[in-house]
Chain A
Amino acid sequence: MEEVKPDVRALAFARQALKNLFMKPATTSYPFEPASYPERMRGHVELVAEDCIGCGLCMRSCPPGAIRVDRQEGIWSINRFDCVQCESCVNACPKKCLKMAAGYTQPETEKAEERFEILKKQEK
């Protein structure tokens, strides 16, 4: 048998366990309280369609290939189910018209692409 160390304590956690009984919950009771998001949170990609020049750099930098830019049709589209929120497109965009915004997107029943019309000014 091995020796028992002298500093062995019985019920070492009892005090903390009792304290926890009377503390307020550590969690936020969402949805009754609003969830708070930090400023840098990578929730979803947002496009300012007016500034986009359709260069396609975001499409090329996106690892899962979630973005599609079609200059002919003037469409910038994103498949939100493919996006992994890596922020690579935001860093690649020369016009700084993409940004990562806080908050998650809503659940959906279909894997649809979200489409934005770009290059409207040039057409006129």
Chain B
Amino acid sequence: MAKRSIVPFGPQHPVLPEPVHLDLVLEDETVVGAIPSIGFIHRGLEKLVEKKDFKQYVYIAERVCGICSCGHGMGYCESVERVMGIEIPRRAEYLRTIWVEMSRVHSHLLWLGLLADAMGFESLFMECWRLREKILDMFDRTTGGRIIFSVNCVGGVLKDMDGAMLRAIRETVDQMEQELEPIMTTFIKDYSVQLRLRGLGILSREQAILQGAVGPMLRGSGVEYDTRMLGYAAYGDLDMEPIVGTDGDAYARCEVRAREIVQSFNLIREAIDKIPQGPISVPVKGNPQGEYFMRIEQPRGEAIYYTKGNGTKFLDRFRLRTPTTSNIPPMVEMLKGCQLGDVPLLILTIDPCISCTER
């Protein structure tokens, strides 16, 4: 009979800089169950809506996460704008879309690098992060910040991009697409990568839906669902199809993310071609009264922003459900049956962002 034991994993672990703790129930070396616990870095950001007025809160919403910062700012602003019935200029929606898509490229390249690092493929890791630097430089040039952009505001955006900047983004994207080629080939076709990832941590289509997986995790299991198809911001005008994997294993999740980078390049190019002229923000009068439930697609999956205003400048409630929160139950499910040695890599494949999960 196999011997049962419980091995604690985390909150500090070399492969994950983020504090998530799991109690792994093992039978010999095989995981038969996992009990997750979070709550090591709770910051109480949601509570701050009671202290900072709804316009100032944009800067706090952006600081929920260091990687999807622009998306959190945008999700919050869009929900408040909808509560207040503000229609923002089209140009602002396009600018938001471009920045959010650039964030997706940045996030996915970062994740691919981390995955390569977790597999022990150091040169691939360096290459991903070298490429990611180019997109960070474009952020720096267009918004003034490499990580936190502070460009979103209720009623539009704060900074415009002139023709030269848009051209520079286009050139960077074209150049990056060429340089991405060897990275894509390696992740998708390399023998050793396939040997490591294929058949590992399979999450079936049914389980993915049942456990409420979101983002690349859901699409990797073959579910064609992408919140961008709802057409918020400028996505309604852009041509896109969700990228779907088939096998539901670690390889499928990696492939979905790698191919989403190319999809984002195409979306950025299309948005640059179609961007209309005009103002970038509208004046905001009054205070929010009412509630709204906004969904957007972050690099890690669907995020939900719930806003409830009471007619004063302080909101009653702001609730943010981040993609990692929804991806923890499917992660626990997919860990069952894997080997202890594969656990760090599998946790990485959900692209965990624990600090946004706990906010």
- Once A16-B127, A38-B141 are accepted as A-B contacts, the answer to whether A61 and B191 lie under 8 Å apart by CB is no
Task: Point out the residues of chain B lying under 8 angstroms from A41, CB to CB.
Answer: 140, 144-145
- Once A8-B189, A26-B130, A26-B133 are accepted as A-B contacts, the answer to whether A87 and B141 lie under 8 Å apart by CB is no
Q: Is A84 a contact of B123 with CB atoms below 8 Å?
A: no
Segment 55-71 of A: residues with Cβ below 8 Å from B: 61, 63
Contact of B56 (CB < 8 Å), options: A12, A16, A39, A88: A88
Contact of B185 (CB < 8 Å), options: A9, A38, A87, A91: A9
Segment 3-38 of A: residues with Cβ below 8 Å from B: 4-5, 7-13, 15-17, 20, 26, 38
Secondary structure of the A side of the interface? loop
Segment 71-101 of B: residues with Cβ below 8 Å from A: none
Q: Is A2 a contact of B199 with CB atoms below 8 Å?
A: yes
Q: Tell me the minimal C-beta distance from B129 to chain A in angstroms.
A: 9
Q: Is B191 a contact of A15 with CB atoms below 8 Å?
A: no
- Once A10-B191, A13-B182, A63-B52 are accepted as A-B contacts, the answer to whether A88 and B142 lie under 8 Å apart by CB is no
Q: Is A8 a contact of B158 with CB atoms below 8 Å?
A: no
Contact of A2 (CB < 8 Å), options: B137, B183, B198: B198
Q: Is B182 a contact of A16 with CB atoms below 8 Å?
A: yes
Q: Inter-chain contact count A-B, CB under 8 Å?
A: 84
Q: Tell me the minimal C-beta distance from B198 to chain A in angstroms.
A: 7
Task: Point out the residues of chain A lying under 8 angstroms from B186, CB to CB.
Answer: 12-13, 16
Q: Is A9 a contact of B190 with CB atoms below 8 Å?
A: yes
Task: Point out the residues of chain A lying under 8 angstroms from B199, CB to CB.
Answer: 2
Task: Point out the residues of chain B lying under 8 angstroms from A91, CB to CB.
Answer: 158
Give Cα A31–Cα B124 distance, bound, in whole angstroms.
27
Q: How large is the interface on B (under 10, 10 to 19, 20 to 34, 35 or more residues)?
A: 35 or more
Segment 169-225 of B: residues with Cβ below 8 Å from A: 182-183, 185-186, 189-194, 198-199
A100 in contact (CB, < 8 A): yes
B289 in contact (CB, < 8 A): no
A80 in contact (CB, < 8 A): no
Q: Is B190 a contact of A13 with CB atoms below 8 Å?
A: yes
Q: Tell me the minimal C-beta distance from B57 to chain A in angstroms.
A: 8
**Interface positions of B (Cβ within 8 A of A):** 52, 56, 59-60, 63, 121, 123-124, 126-127, 130, 133, 137, 140-145, 148, 150, 158-159, 182-183, 185-186, 189-194, 198-199
**Interface positions of A (Cβ within 8 A of B):** 2, 4-5, 7-13, 15-17, 20, 26, 38-42, 61, 63, 84-88, 91, 100
The 6 lowest CB-CB distance pairs between A and B, nearest first, are A40-B144, A12-B190, A16-B182, A42-B144, A13-B186, A38-B141
Besides A12-B185, A13-B185, 18 other A-B contacts (C-beta < 8 A):
A8-B191, A9-B189, A9-B191, A12-B189, A13-B124, A13-B186, A26-B130, A26-B133, A38-B137, A38-B140, A39-B141, A40-B141, A42-B144, A42-B150, A63-B52, A84-B59, A85-B150, A87-B150
A-B contact pairs, 11 of them (CB 8 A): A2-B198, A12-B182, A13-B182, A16-B186, A40-B159, A84-B59, A85-B145, A85-B148, A86-B59, A87-B144, A87-B158
